[in-house]
Structure 1
Amino acid sequence: MTRRRSPFDEFERLFDRMSDQFEDFDVESRLAVDVEDTGDAFVVTADLPGFEKEDIDVHLRDDALQIDATHEESPEKDVKEQYIRRERSKRSVSRSLSLPEAVDEDAVSASFNNGVLTVELPKSRDEDDSTSIDIA
């Protein structure tokens, strides 16, 4: 299955560049990722220290991978400490990545170990997105 070019691809790239420039001002919410092309698959690696597996949502929609992580610490009711300032109550990060080629959605896998999320996206082997139709 080949990826068809959308007239909105250029707009998406422009918004990604603009978003990257604005994200430099807000380093707390930026999710840094590595994207590796292994030949047969794309491997996305993201550092998510302080997050738990249950805090992370990974979605694949069309040709984009979306990673969202939100961690909220609920104050304990019987905690005796009194905080002067408490800034670590909620953290969230998000990242959307456009994939350069079609992937096999049924074979995508993800793992989370020691604060590192790894998503493996095997490339689709279908070279042609057409379907053969039998003539009756």
Structure 2
Amino acid sequence: MRRNPFNDIEEMLDRVSRQVEEGMTAGGLQVPGSVPVDVADTGEEYVVTADLPGYETDDIDLTLSDGTLRLEANRTGEAEYAEGRYLRRERTETSASRRIRLPEPVDEEAVAAGFENGVLTVRLPKVSGSDDSKRIDIE
């Protein structure tokens, strides 16, 4: 008995549809070359955590402009293997990037970043409200 090729196509489309739905409910789809991030709002600050395994601190470029945090990471592979020759070479030049739009202004002078065990953490304190508030008496 011959298999119907349309059944295979329909199964594949169902599988892709499920993956898209799961990706959307998990907080978004992962785009190739995009850095997976978590963005938390603690009330006082935004904390952005990004997974960058295999990168060094010097490979990462962070900029903040017009309320958007831009993260770019570039790693170049070594041209030669010091202890012999390559039999397979898949870990060569790699780059990843991500732009994160922040919902509120942040204190650009107080932004701090740390990188440990392949995880980048950026702390972006929110701009505090004006102290020129006026108490309103209720009559």
TM-score normalised by length of structure 2: 0.68
Q: Which one has more relative contact order, counting CA pairs under 8 Å at least 6 apart?
A: 1
Map Cα deviations across residues 99-132 of structure 1 (whole Å, 9 max, x no partner). Answer: 000000000000000100000000001449xxxx
Q: How far apart, CA to CA, are the structure 1 residues paired with 2:86 and 2:37?
A: 37
Change (3 A) 1:42 1:22: closer
Change (3 A) 1:77 1:118: closer
Q: How far apart, CA to CA, are the structure 2 residues paired with 1:117 and 1:39?
A: 20
Number of aligned residues:
105
Q: Which residue of 2 aligns with 1:48?
A: 52
| Correspondence for 1:112 among 91, 115, 118 | 115
| Correspondence for 2:61 among 36, 57, 60 | 57
2:91 alignment partner AA: R
| Correspondence for 2:71 among 59, 67, 70 | 67
Q: In terms of Rg, which structure is larger?
A: 2
**What CA RMSD, in Å, does the superposition of the two structures yield over aligned residues?**
2.3
Q: How far apart, CA to CA, are the structure 2 residues paired with 1:77 and 1:38?
A: 45
Identity %: 48
- Is the partner of 1:45 in helix, strand or coil? strand
What are the ranges of 5 or more consecutive residues in structure 1 without an aligned counterpart? 1-19, 129-136
- Is the partner of 1:54 in helix, strand or coil? helix
Change (3 A) 1:126 1:50: same
Q: Which residue of 1 aligns with 2:104?
A: 101
TM-score normalised by length of structure 1: 0.69
**What are the within-5 Å matches in structure 2 for residues 11-90 of structure 1?**
23=31, 26=32, 29-76=33-80, 79-83=83-87, 85-90=88-93
| Correspondence for 1:92 among 88, 95, 117 | 95
